Structure 1
Amino acid sequence: MVKFNVNKKRNSTGIEIKQAIMTGVSYMLPFIIAGAVIMGISRIGASFYGIDNIWDGSHAEAGNALIRMFHAFDGFGGMALSLMLPVVAGYIAYSLADKPGIGPGMIAGLLAKDLGTGFLGALAAGFVAGYIVRYLAKNIKLPQSLASAGPIFIIPVGGTLLACIIMMYVIGDPLAAMNRGLEAWLLSMSGTNKVILAAIIGGMVGFDLGGPINKAAVTTAMAMLASGIYDPNTAAQVAIIIPPIGIGVATLIWKSRFPESLQEAGKASTLMGLIGVSEGAIPFALANPKIIIINVIGSAVGSAMAVGFGAVNRAPISGFYGWLAVENWLTYVVAIAVGSAIVTLGSLLVFKGEMPTKITKKSDKPSFNITKA
């Protein structure tokens, strides 16, 4: 008999929703990264042959074997990206209802994709499927002789059917209309408006370094990828790495302005920035919250420059290993360098050789009470 734990202790609704979204996004990322990097490889390779539309079907019959290979690579990447919405919906449902939620969630997410509801529809599909499956698992009581039929037949079939009915006939059309409106608004942005939006996203990402404001901006930017809108993602991916790189470089340039503990943290911060982890800058924000303002400014400027000068990042990849796959990548790298330089200079102004107070034996927790040397 197959058993699934759908009755485990639950958190509050708000925390549960947040955890479900984060679970869905975390499982979705490998598909996006794999697909986008493979497509980037194919397009960079094709560019050496003067081809800027390697996805076009005519290249499948090209006389050059490498061109045919690059065309195939682009198709592989496209297949990986096509799984983005079903996977995020399936694993949101998994977070809510354990393994029985995966099938109904993925199928409802695939329907959301076909209905044109975009990322918002996939999120909704995951929650609808997850809560339906949880309800069915909790409330369907079968005789002992039929108990095994619940998790392998009744729950998958019933959960999938109910979730798809709700998506198709209740929330599909409103979500599709909302998604089309959002796409039209973003696509209509040009010039100054586009740059301002990039600066806002960049500032939000740089504000709390992986916290709720950062996550809201990054998740929204990623949502637009499914609709072929890349400017928000470009802004977010630039902003993710500017604070840790900028602060880390500051500790390398003039380490005496930082306490010894933060000098060591600076080395880690630089590395974490290069691989796309903004949390590397958190120790510095805890030690001196003034650096938050510098992070916001540097991230906003870098993001606005990248978008304003035409860089396009089509993948949720901020680490250095994805920079060459960015369209107009040199501009993209320069924007990162400028934003990081702002953070570096600001860090050297904010940290002035101040030292944290000594840790007393009575406390096991480090103290970051700043006093003048």
Structure 2
Amino acid sequence: MKKVLSEIKNHVLTGISYMIPLVIAGAVIMAISRVGGSLYGLTDIWDAKYAESGNGIIRLLHSIDGFGGTALGLMFPVIAAFIAYSVVDKLGIVPGLVGGMLVKDINAGFLGAIAAGLIAGYICLWIRNHVKLPQSMASIVPVFLIPVLGTLSTVLIINYVIGVPFTALNVGLENWLNGLSGGNQIIMAAVVGAMVGFDLGGPVNKAAVTTAMALLTSQVYAPNTAAQVAIIIPPIGLGLATVFAKKKYNTELREAGKSAIIMGLVGVSEGAIPFAVESPLKVIPSTVIGSAIGSAMAVGLGAVNQAPISGFYGWFTVEKWPIYVLSITTGSLFVAISSVVLRKKDAGEDNSPIEEEDYTFDEAEWES
């Protein structure tokens, strides 16, 4: 059972890895359009009425928003297709794509897309392994039998078995998140931030980030805001810790600190991993709490990030970006200061030059 769950996790992570660039591309293109629209005082550049605007730039911005929406709309078909691809190679792509499109149409959400990919992949795998035809007809299995039977079986299961519960779950989640306000929304943001800061790019982190990104298609922005803030707080905070207290870190970690700051600024939380591996019981509590503080502060004070971008190049497209940046700074400083306080001076390095004679080999002493 453990092996099966591990395989499923790997298939899902493969699908996510193919989905993320698509989501980023679509959301960034839409963000560019909406920032451009805001320069003209337009907060609804996606509205169809702007397709006939007398201003050519506004028409262009409206079209660009539509292009980004097209890319973002492919998110569920792509993740389903590449989960199926991970299970059974290229044989699963067509059933996965069609299953993902059906999930999108019935609003079964991110979890529905994952289920569609796994269903398509394992159905095609079963057909490939168990349907045996004479040698003269074997070639029709990959080009006809699997695409037809695999796709038909997948869409029937989605539409008549899992579609209704997954749609209800997705709609319920959207309504719950949209209904959050005040303290409840802050708690939600803190939980998302803590998950992102927990394993620094691991499965808990990815679960929070990808779910938040998927909710962008439903115009639910608070989880994404929380996640994107939390992604960059641990590496920046731990990098700053090596600047604030150099004597507490050896040369290797001080160099890792420089890289961590840069990786944090471009939105790569894995920059914090060397510190977490070296001292997990001291580092992870700091990153969890610091990320939760920054995320809760950003969402609670009204910052809104509509794009799945955590790097500095996307900060100024955020609604109320000064609050957003202040939240990142606050969380990062918490991580830095708490890490310094919890850490003793590194015992492996005293930062003084080592005399050469300390390493002199005494042959007579060795022989004695």
TM value normalised by structure 2: 0.91
Write the mapping of 1:98-247 to structure 2, written as runs, cut at 5 A: 98-247=89-238
Alpha-carbon offset, residue 227 of structure 1: 2.6
Whether the aligned pair in 1 keeps the contact of 2:31 and 2:307 (CA below 8 Å) is no
2:47 corresponds in structure 1 to 56
| 1:15 CA drift (Å) | 0.9
State whether structure 2 residue 340 is matched by structure 1 residue 348: yes
Structure 2, unmatched stretches of 5+, are 351-368
Contact 1:248 1:270 (8 Å CA) reproduced: yes
SS in 2 for 1:356: coil
The structure 1 segments of at least 4 consecutive aligned residues displaced by more than 6 Å after TM superposition are none
For residue 32 of structure 1, the aligned residue among 23, 31, 37 is 23
Residue 257 of structure 2 corresponds to residue 283 of structure 1: no
The one-letter amino acid paired with 1:57 is A
Give the C-alpha shift of residue 244 in structure 1. Answer: 0.1
Equivalent in the alignment of 1:5: none
Superposed displacement of residue 324, structure 1? 2.6
What's 2:364 paired with?
Answer: none
Cα distance in structure 1, aligned partners of 2:226 and 2:97: 29
Q: Determine the structure 2 residue equivalent to 1:313.
A: 305
CA contact (8 A) 1:285 1:292 kept: yes
Moved more, 198-207 or 79-88: 198-207
Deviation at 1:327, TM superposition (A): 2.4
Distance in 1, matches of 2:177 and 2:9, equals 25
SS in 1 for 2:218: coil
Greater fraction of residues in helix? 2
Distance 1:52 1:225 in 2: 17
Q: Is the 8 A contact 1:259 1:353 kept in 2?
A: no
Structure 2: distance between partners of 1:146 and 1:191 = 64
CA distance in 2, matches of 1:227, 1:49: 25
The aligned length equals 349
Q: CA deviation at 1:61?
A: 2.0
* Match among 293, 302, 311 for residue 285 of structure 2: 293
Q: Which has the greater radius of gyration?
A: 2
C-alpha contact 1:242 1:336 (8 A) present in aligned 2: yes
Q: 1:357 Cα deviation (Å)?
A: 7.7
For residues 120-175 of structure 1, what are the alpha-carbon distances to aligned partners after superposition, in whole Å with 9 as ceiling and x for unaligned? Answer: 11111111111101101111112122111111111011100110011111111111
Deviations 1:99-140 (A, max 9, x none): 010110010110011111111111111111111011011111
Distance in 2 between residues matched to 1:106 and 1:252, nearest whole Å: 49
Alpha-carbon distance in structure 1 between the residues aligned to 2:217 and 2:126: 30
Q: Secondary structure at the match of 1:50?
A: coil
Q: Distance in 2 between matches of 1:44 and 1:63?
A: 19
The CA deviation at 1:287 is 2.2
TM-superposed CA distance for 1:11, in Å, is 8.8
The CA distance in 1 between the partners of 2:182 and 2:15, in whole Å, is 34
Answer whether contact 2:236 2:264 (CA < 8 A) is retained: yes
| TM-score normalised by structure 1 residue count | 0.90
3-state SS in 2 of match to 1:12: helix
Aligned residue number for residue 325 of structure 2: 333
Aligned to 2:75: 84
Distance in 2, matches of 1:334 and 1:137, equals 55
Per-residue CA distance 1:163-213 (angstroms, 9 max, x = gap): 001111111111111212222222221100010111111112112212232
8 Å CA contact retained: 2:247, 2:346: no
**What are the superposed Cα offsets for residues 49-91 of structure 1, whole Å, 9 maximum, x if unpaired?**
1111111112122222221111111011000001001101111
SS at match of 2:314: helix
Q: Is the 8 A contact 1:257 1:353 kept in 2?
A: yes
Matched, 1:75 2:72: no
Instruction: Report the CA distance between 1:219 and its aligned residue.
Output: 3.0
**1:105–1:11 distance in 2 versus 1, CA, 3 Å:** farther
**RMSD over aligned Cα, in angstroms?**
1.7
